Chains A and B, each alone.
Chain A
Amino acid sequence: MSTTHSHAPLEESPLTEFEVLELAVRELAIEKGLFSADDHRRFSEWAEARTYTVGSRMTARSWLDPAFKERLLSNGTETSKEVGVDWLQPTGQGTPSDYTFFYVLENTPKVHNVIVCTLCSCYPRPVLGMSPDWYRTPNYRRRMVRWPRQVLAEFGLHLPPDVEVRVHDSNQKSRFMVMPMRPEGTDGWNEDQLAAIVTRDCLIGVALPRADVTASQVPKQPKGRSGGKKR
Chain B
Amino acid sequence: MSGGNRPYDVLMSTLGDVEERTSADLVCGERTPAPWESAMQATCECLSSGGTLDNLERRQAEDRLGESVYARFPVHTRSALIVAHSLMDRDVITEEELRAKMKEVRARLEMV
Question: Do A and B interact?
Answer: yes
B106 touches A97 (CB 8 A): no
Please encode chain B, from 72 to 112, with 1 for each CB lying within 8 Å of some chain A CB and 0 for all others.
Answer: 00001100110110010000110001100110111001100
A2-10, A24-32, A195-203 - interface stretch: A24-32
Contact stretch, chosen from A39-47, A70-78, A104-112, A145-153? A39-47
A18 lies within 8 A of B93 (CB): no
> Which residues of B approach A to under 8 Å, CB–CB?
11, 13-14, 16-18, 26-50, 52, 55-56, 58-59, 63, 76-77, 80-81, 83-84, 87, 92-93, 97-98, 101-102, 104-106, 109-110
> Which chain B residue shows the least CB distance to A48?
B38
Q: Are B47 and A20 in contact (CB under 8 A)?
A: no
Given A24-B101, A91-B48, list of 16 further CB < 8 A pairs? Answer: A15-B110, A17-B18, A18-B34, A20-B102, A21-B81, A23-B105, A26-B39, A29-B46, A39-B49, A40-B43, A44-B42, A47-B41, A90-B45, A91-B45, A97-B58, A120-B76
Instruction: State in angstroms the CA–CA spacing of A96 and B79 once bound together.
Output: 13
Count residues of chain A with CB under 8 A from any CB of chain B.
41
Interface presence of A215 (CB below 8 A): no
List the count of A-B residue pairs having beta carbons below 8 Å apart.
140
Mark each residue of chain A from 154 to 176: 1 if its CB lies under 8 Å from any CB of chain B, else 0: 00000000000000000110000
